[in-house]
C-alpha cells in the first residue's frame, strides 16, 4: 500500500492514477530559481515562512477530485525566499509526539524554488504533476506508509535531501505506478540506508559582543524502512556511522554543555574543531498492516551543546553544516541546511554621570556606571578630567575615577567607553568653587640680645629676667668679682620678642645673702644693654645700693618701643586650600603699603582653572621695617588669591 491521501470521503491509493507521458513535467513549473533573496531556512527561522498541506481540486480523467495533495509555502517577507536545495520536511518533527491519529501528515521533499516576496507557491504531489493532473512545482513523498492530512503544518528542521537521492529525484519520468520518480524514491528507501541531517537553530539573532551563547542541536534520522511485504532482505540499518559538526575558528563550546561528549574532537589548522559522534540508526519497521494514520517511527539521534561566540561584526554569519558519514569512508553522504547567525552591534553609550560640584582641593568621584553596552560585553573606560583632550587615566574596567581639582573649575569632564568594537564619549558638568585664602597666624616680633653688666663692690650679684606676656624668655645672673668691670657681664643670646605681648626686663639685686665685704655697705652700678641685629646698641643704667633696699629691684616696662624702633618683623602664615597664587599687602598706615607675591609653582602666575598644582598651598610671608612709635600703631595685612578670594588681619598695638 503506497501513497495514501486522507481524503474528505475516505482514502485514495496512488495505484489508481492514470499513466501519462513524462514530458509533461518539463513545462509544469518555473524551474530552478535564479533570482536572489533570503535563504529558505533562514526565513523559516525568522518566522517569515510557513509550510502547510492543503486540499487541491483538479480533474483526474473524467473525475473532479479534491484531495490533500497541495503543499503551500507562504512567504510574508518583503524579499523573495530562495529554496536552493531540496528540503526534507518531517511530520511530526522528531521531538514532537502526535496527540492523536490524523494530526500528522506525510513527510515531504520540497524541490528547489523561489517563493515571491509577500506571496506563496503551491507545490503539488509529484506523481500528479508527472501525469499532468496538476501543475508543478512538485513535492515528493519520503514516507510511504502515511496519509496526508489537510491543514497540517510542518515544522522545518533544517534537514536536506541525502546526496544519493538528489539525482534520483532529478530524473523525472512516469511509465506507470511502479515505474516513476516517486516509486524510485520509495524503492530506494527500502534498499538503502538514507540519513538526513538537521541542525538548529536555523537562524538566531545575537549581539556581536563576545561571549554570546547559541544552543546548537545536530541530529540524524534514518529514512530507510524495512518491510516484510516486499521480499527485500537488504540490511538498511546504520551501525557505527559518524555524525559530525564543526566549531568555527574563534568560537568555543561552553564547558559542560554537551548532551553527549563527542567520541572524537579534531583540531584543524585554521583553528576550527571537528566534533564526531559514533551513532547507530536502525531502519523503521513498516508494512501493509500498519495504521496509515500514524507516522512512521524513524530512529533519530540528537546531540546538543552550546556555542560561545567571539566578537562578531554586524551582519549575517553562517555556521558550518552538520554532516553524516554513515559508511565511514570519509565522504559525507548528507548535510544539514546552513545555520545563519545575525549579529547586531549594540553600540556603547557612554554616561559620564554628574553634574558634579565641589570646592578646590576636593577629590571628585566621577562615575560612569550608567554606561550601557551589549549584554555580557566587557566595557573599559578612561577619563579626561578637565575636558582638555588629554586623558588623565589609562583604560580600566572600573567605571569610576577620582579626580582632584586643585583650582576652581567650571567645565566638563569627559569619559570614553569602549567594548573593543564601538567607542562612545560623554561629558559631565563639573563645577568647583573657589575657597577664600586664610591667614592662619600673624606675629609681630623684634630680635635683640640682652646683656647685663655690673661694677662696684665685690661679691654682690644681680639677676636679669626677660618676660613677654608673663612668659619668661630668659633668666641669667652675674656676680661682681675682682677684675675689670667690663668683664663683669652675662648675655641672653639673640631672642625673638613677640611685640603683641608686653615685654619687660627685671634685674634683681640680693646683697643680704652675699659674702661679707667689710660691712653692710657698698654700691653697685649696673647696665642693661640691648644689642640689635644691625649692630646698634641701647644702654640703660641703674645704681644698686646695699643700704637702700628700694634700689634692689630694677624693672623696665614697655621694652617694645625701643625694640620696634630698631626693626619689627611681621610673619604671616597663609593658607590656600587650592593651588592659587597669593598676594599679600602690608599696610603700616603710612600711605606706602608693601606687596609680596607667592606663585604656586614658585616662578609663574597661575593660569585660570589650572589643575595639578601644590594644594593645599601654605606659605609664610615675612615683612620687616622699623617703627618709631609702636604705641597706637595699626598694621593691616590683606591677602588675595588669583580667583578673587581674600582674607584680612589687623594688628593693633595699644598704648600702655
Calpha distance 70→74 (Å, rounded) = 12
Residue 384 near residue 425, CB atoms below 8 Å: no
Helix (H, G, I), strand (E, B) or coil at 549: helix
Residue 30: all three cell numbers together: 518555473
Residue 457 near residue 544, CB atoms below 8 Å: no
**pLDDT of 520:** 67
pLDDT of residue 29 exceeding 80: no
Calpha distance 342→363 (Å, rounded) = 45
pLDDT of residue 655 exceeding 70: no
Helix (H, G, I), strand (E, B) or coil at 515: coil
Encode 302-325: b = buried (16+ Cβ within 10 Å), e = exposed: bbebebbbebbeeeebebbbbbbb
pLDDT of residue 435 exceeding 60: yes
pLDDT of residue 17 exceeding 50: no
Residue 123 near residue 137, CB atoms below 8 Å: yes
Domains annotated on the chain, with CATH: 5-193 (no CATH), 198-316+332-342 (2.60.40), 356-433 (2.60.40.10), 443-565 (2.60.60), 571-652 (2.60.40)
Calpha distance 385→364 (Å, rounded) = 10
| CA within 13 Å, CB half, 273 | 12
DSSP string covering 558-626: -THHHHHHT-EEEEEEEEESSS--EEEEEE-SSS--EEEEE-TTSSSPPPTT--SS-SSEEEEEEEEE-
Show Cβ contacts of residue 83 under 8 Å, excluding neighbours closer than 6 positions.
33, 40, 73, 110, 111, 112, 113, 114, 115
**pLDDT by residue (tens digit) across 332-343?**
999 999 999 999
Under the phi-then-psi rule, with left for phi > 0, alpha for psi from -120 to 50, and beta for the rest, what region is 27?
A: alpha
Using CA of residue 324, residue 326, residue 330, residue 332, what is the dihedral sign? Answer: negative
**pLDDT of 11:** 33
Calpha distance 78→45 (Å, rounded) = 15
Residue 622 near residue 570, CB atoms below 8 Å: yes
Calpha distance 108→121 (Å, rounded) = 15
**pLDDT by residue (tens digit) across 78-133?**
999 999 999 999 888 766 666 566 677 889 999 999 999 999 999 999 999 999 99
Candidates 537, 544, 444; CA nearest to 491 is: 537
Measured from the Cβ of residue 548, the count of other Cβ atoms closer than 10 Å reads 10
**pLDDT by residue (tens digit) across 260-274?**
999 999 999 999 999
Calpha distance 561→557 (Å, rounded) = 10
Average pLDDT over residues 399-419: 94
Pairing of strands 138-141, 108-110: antiparallel
**pLDDT of 287:** 60
Claim: this prediction has a pTM higher than 0.75: no
Site of grid cell 614697655: 558
Amino acid at each position: 500500500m503506497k501513497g495514501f491521501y486522507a481524503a474528505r470521503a475516505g482514502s485514495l491509493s496512488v495505484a489508481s492514477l492514470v499513466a501519462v507521458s513524462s514530458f509533461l513535467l518539463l513545462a509544469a513549473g518555473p524551474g530552478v530559481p535564479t533570482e536572489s533573496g533570503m535563504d529558505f531556512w533562514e526565513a523559516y527561522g525568522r518566522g517569515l515562512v510557513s509550510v502547510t498541506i492543503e486540499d487541491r481540486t483538479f480533474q483526474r480523467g473524467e473525475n473532479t477530485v479534491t484531495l490533500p495533495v497541495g503543499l503551500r509555502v507562504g512567504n510574508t517577507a518583503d524579499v523573495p525566499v530562495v529554496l536552493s536545495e531540496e528540503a526534507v520536511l518531517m511530520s511530526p518533527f522528531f521531538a514532537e509526539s502526535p496527540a492523536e491519529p490524523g494530526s500528522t501528515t506525510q513527510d515531504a521533499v520540497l524541490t528547489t524554488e523561489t517563493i515571491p516576496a509577500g506571496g506563496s507557491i503551491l507545490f503539488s504531489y509529484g506523481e500528479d504533476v508527472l501525469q499532468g493532473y496538476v501543475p508543478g512545482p512538485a513535492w515528493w513523498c519520503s514516507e510511504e506508509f502515511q496519509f496526508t492530512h489537510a491543514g497540517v503544518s510542518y515544522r522545518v528542521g533544517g534537514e536536506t535531501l541525502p546526496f544519493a537521492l538528489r539525482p534520483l529525484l532529478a530524473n523525472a519520468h512516469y511509465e506507470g505506478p511502479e515505474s516513476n520518480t516517486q516509486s524510485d524514491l520509495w524503492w530506494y528507501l527500502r534498499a538503502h540506508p538514507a540519513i538526513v541531517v538537521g541542525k538548529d537553530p536555523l537562524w538566531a539573532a545575537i549581539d556581536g559582543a563576545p561571549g554570546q551563547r547559541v544552543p546548537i542541536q545536530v541530529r540524524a534520522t534514518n529514512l530507510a524502512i524495512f518491510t516484510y511485504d516486499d521480499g527485500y532482505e537488504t540490511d538498511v540499518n546504520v551501525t557505527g556511522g559518524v555524525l559530525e559538526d564543526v566549531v568555527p575558528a574563534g568560537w568555543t563550546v561552553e564547558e559542560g554543555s554537551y548532551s553527549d561528549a563527542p567520541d572524537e574532537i579534531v583540531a584543524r589548522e585554521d583553528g576550527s574543531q571537528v566534533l564526531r559522534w559514533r551513532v547507530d540508526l536502525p531502519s523503521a519497521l513498516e508494512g501493509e498492516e500498519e495504521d496509515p494514520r500514524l507516522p512512521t517511527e524513524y530512529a533519530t539521534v540528537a546531540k546538543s551543546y552550546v556555542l560561545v561566540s567571539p566578537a562578531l561584526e554586524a551582519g549575517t554569519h553562517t555556521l558550518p553544516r552538520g554532516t553524516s558519514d554513515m559508511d565511514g569512508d570519509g565522504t559525507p553522504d548528507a548535510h544539514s541546511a546552513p545555520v545563519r547567525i545575525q549579529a547586531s552591534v549594540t553600540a556603547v553609550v557612554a554616561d559620564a554621570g554628574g553634574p558634579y560640584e565641589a570646592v578646590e582641593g576636593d577629590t571628585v568621584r566621577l562615575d560612569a556606571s550608567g554606561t550601557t553596552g551589549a549584554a555580557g560585553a566587557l566595557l573599559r573606560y578612561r577619563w579626561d578630567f578637565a575636558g582638555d583632550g588629554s586623558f588623565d587615566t589609562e583604560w580600566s574596567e572600573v567605571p569610576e575615577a577620582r579626580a582632584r581639582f586643585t583650582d576652581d573649575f567650571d567645565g566638563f569632564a569627559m569619559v570614553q567607553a569602549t567594548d573593543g568594537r564601538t567607542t562612545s564619549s560623554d561629558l559631565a558638568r563639573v563645577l568647583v568653587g573657589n575657597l577664600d585664602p586664610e591667614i592662619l597666624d600673624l606675629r609681630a616680633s623684634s630680635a635683640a640680645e640682652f646683656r647685663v653688666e655690673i661694677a662696684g663692690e665685690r661679691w654682690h650679684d644681680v639677676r636679669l629676667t626677660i618676660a613677654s606676656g608673663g612668659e619668661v624668655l630668659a633668666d641669667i645672673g652675674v656676680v661682681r668679682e675682682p677684675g675689670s668691670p667690663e668683664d663683669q657681664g652675662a648675655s641672653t643670646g639673640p631672642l625673638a620678642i613677640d611685640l603683641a605681648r608686653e615685654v619687660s626686663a627685671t634685674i634683681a639685686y640680693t646683697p643680704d645673702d652675699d659674702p661679707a665685704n667689710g660691712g653692710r655697705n657698698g654700691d653697685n652700678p649696673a647696665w642693661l644693654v640691648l644689642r640689635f641685629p644691625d649692630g646698634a646698641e641701647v644702654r640703660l643704667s641703674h645704681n644698686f645700693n646695699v643700704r637702700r633696699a628700694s634700689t634692689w629691684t630694677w624693672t623696665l616696662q614697655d621694652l617694645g618701643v625701643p625694640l620696634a624702633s630698631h626693626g619689627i618683623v611681621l610673619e604671616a602664615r597663609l593658607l590656600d586650600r587650592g593651588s592659587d597664587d597669593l598676594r599679600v599687602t602690608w599696610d603700616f598706615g603710612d600711605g606706602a603699603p608693601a606687596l609680596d607675591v607667592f606663585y604656586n609653582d614658585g616662578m609663574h602666575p597661575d593660569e585660570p582653572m589650572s589643575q595639578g598644582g601644590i594644594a593645599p598651598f601654605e606659605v609664610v610671608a615675612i615683612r620687616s621695617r622699623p617703627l618709631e612709635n609702636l604705641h597706637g600703631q595699626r598694621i593691616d595685612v590683606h591677602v588675595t588669591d588669583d580667583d578673587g578670594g581674600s582674607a584680612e588681619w589687623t594688628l593693633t598695638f595699644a598704648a600702655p
